[in-house]
Amino acid sequence: MNKDASGTPSRGPLSGIKVLEMDGIGPGPFGTMLLADLGANVLTVGRSGPANPFGSVPVGSRGRSGMIKLDLKSDAGRERVLKLIEQTDVIVEGFRPGVMERLGLGPDVALERNPRLVYARMTGWGQTGPLAKIAGHDINYISLSGALHSMGKAGSPPPPPLNLVGDYGGGGMVLALGIVSALLETRTSGKGQVIDAAMVEGAGTLLAPIFGMKSAGAWPVERDGNMLDGSSFYYRCYECADGQFMSVGSLEPQFRMMLIEKLGLAAESKDIMSRVHTDAEMHQRFEAIFKQHDRAHWIQVFDGSDACVAPVMSMNEAPQHPHNQARKSFTQIGNETHPVRTPKFSRTPLVSPADDEADREARLAQWGIDPAA
């Protein structure tokens, strides 16, 4: 294992960076998980009392060095956090606006203790605005961003895309990028700053290319008519004879020609290529063709092809796919399946989740914490 600047074994490009995380749910812990995946030393501060039922879930809480539980309303608990703030590079909190201030742990107090501190705040609506202190969840935030309205069939309620768009894509990932950016800036200025990360804005950022197409007149606001929303007969999922599905994404003409040939329709290629992407007849014909055989058949038909067709795999199946196995995209730890830490770095490789325990004591020691205490 490589060594970081302090001589500690390197866990990735963020080795040597310390992150203090206030225990929470959703995007904050996901963002700090990404930082831990990249090598940061993440310590979680939990509130004394009952455990957070949505907090330290397996896999999603991986990479943390540990958790200390404190009574944040007590003078002793507050001072303990401030002492940790003095030695950390980053603090991440996801409470409603004003909570950290009422605890005596707001940005002004924290930055006075540590002027180089990156103080990252993760909320749904942001620190300001009419909705700032109102409760919400992923589905609400992506509703106001315009993202949810763009999904699903016309005449039906928009289907929530799990909580990937608001919590994780527009939340945790944007938060992690903001933190790394602020850390880079601190190297130049020597000063810390506050990050106001809002899921409603992060989801909007993910939608920026779509807003661009809309502005150019290439994306109608109405659902079920755009090339990427499932209304195109060459960009959607098709059911197979066994009830499984194949995904089709043959957007470019040359790839669409391959799709047509693989489906046995080469003689009609000129006509099919001239059809608009919403053509109802082509939807029906493709549906009928895919239902003639099971998924295994279609996997074999399109194997090695540039037709942009792939099987829709469950979370149980994905780790077994030959491509994922070849890249070691998943690792099994007991009964937990972990997606691999990503991306891959040539010189500062990331540590496997299976090796997280190996240096936990050394990481806690960097915080001045005795793991045996």
188 falls within a domain: yes
**Are 290 and 187 in a shared domain?**
no
The two three-digit tokens of residue 59, written as one number? 């896999």
Peptide bond into 343 cis (omega under 30): yes
**Are 34 and 119 in a shared domain?**
yes
155 falls within a domain: yes
* pLDDT band with cut points at 50, 70 and 90 for residue 49: low
Side chain identity at residue 130, one-letter code? P
Spatial distance between the Cα atoms of 200 and 126, rounded to a whole number of angstroms: 8
The domain in which residue 188 lies consists of 18-206+341-366
* CATH code, domain carrying 240: 3.30.1540.10
* pLDDT band with cut points at 50, 70 and 90 for residue 160: very high
* CATH code, domain carrying 360: 3.40.50.10540
Looking at residue 372, what is its pLDDT?
A: 74
- What HEC string does 158-223 produce? CCCCCCHHHHHHHHHHHHHHHHHHHHHHHHHHCCCEEEEEEHHHHHHHHCHHHHHHHHCCCCCCCC
Spatial distance between the Cα atoms of 165 and 203, rounded to a whole number of angstroms: 6
**Are 90 and 184 in a shared domain?**
yes
213 falls within a domain: no
**Are 120 and 39 in a shared domain?**
yes
267 falls within a domain: yes
Average pLDDT estimate for 28-40: 97
CB-based contact 145:137 (threshold 8 Å) = no
Give 191's contacts (C-beta < 8 A, 6+ positions apart).
115, 116
Whether the per-residue pLDDT at 5 is higher than 80: the answer is no
Whether the per-residue pLDDT at 12 is higher than 80: the answer is yes
Q: Which amino acids are annotated catalytic?
A: 137, 167
**Are 271 and 354 in a shared domain?**
no
Q: What percentage of the chain carries pLDDT values higher than 90?
A: 88
Tally of domains in the chain: 2
Q: Which position has the token pair 């199946």? A: 317
Whether the per-residue pLDDT at 1 is higher than 70: the answer is no
Average pLDDT estimate for 161-168: 96
**Are 179 and 274 in a shared domain?**
no
Spatial distance between the Cα atoms of 258 and 96, rounded to a whole number of angstroms: 52
The two three-digit tokens of residue 82, written as one number? 């401030």
Query: Nearest Cα to 167, choosing from 195, 196, 138?
Result: 138
Q: Which position has the token pair 């040539």? A: 346
* pLDDT band with cut points at 50, 70 and 90 for residue 337: very high
| Residue-wise DSSP of 349-367 | PPPPGGGTTTTHHHHHHHT
**Are 33 and 165 in a shared domain?**
yes
**Are 261 and 189 in a shared domain?**
no
Query: Residue 358: how many CB atoms within 10 A of its CB?
Result: 13
Whether the per-residue pLDDT at 51 is higher than 70: the answer is no
3-class SS at 332? strand
371 falls within a domain: no
Looking at residue 48, what is its pLDDT?
A: 74
Whether the per-residue pLDDT at 53 is higher than 70: the answer is no
Q: What tens digit of pLDDT does each residue of 220-271 get?
A: 998 888 999 999 999 999 999 999 999 999 999 999 999 999 999 999 999 9
**Are 262 and 164 in a shared domain?**
no
**Are 178 and 46 in a shared domain?**
yes
90-93 and 118-123 beta bridge pairing:
parallel
Rg (CA), the chain: 24
Spatial distance between the Cα atoms of 74 and 110, rounded to a whole number of angstroms: 17
Whether the per-residue pLDDT at 56 is higher than 60: the answer is no
Q: What percentage of the chain carries pLDDT values higher than 70?
A: 95
Whether the per-residue pLDDT at 329 is higher than 70: the answer is yes
CB-based contact 123:191 (threshold 8 Å) = no
Query: Nearest Cα to 88, choosing from 178, 16, 167?
Result: 16
Average pLDDT over the chain reads 94
* Residue 79 vs residues 66, 110, 289: alpha-carbon distances, Å: 19, 11, 67
Q: Taking the model in full, what pTM does it have?
A: 0.94
The two three-digit tokens of residue 13, written as one number? 């490009």
Q: Identify the sign of the CA torsion 23, 29, 31, 36.
A: positive
335 falls within a domain: no
Whether the per-residue pLDDT at 7 is higher than 90: the answer is no
5 falls within a domain: no
**Are 197 and 239 in a shared domain?**
no
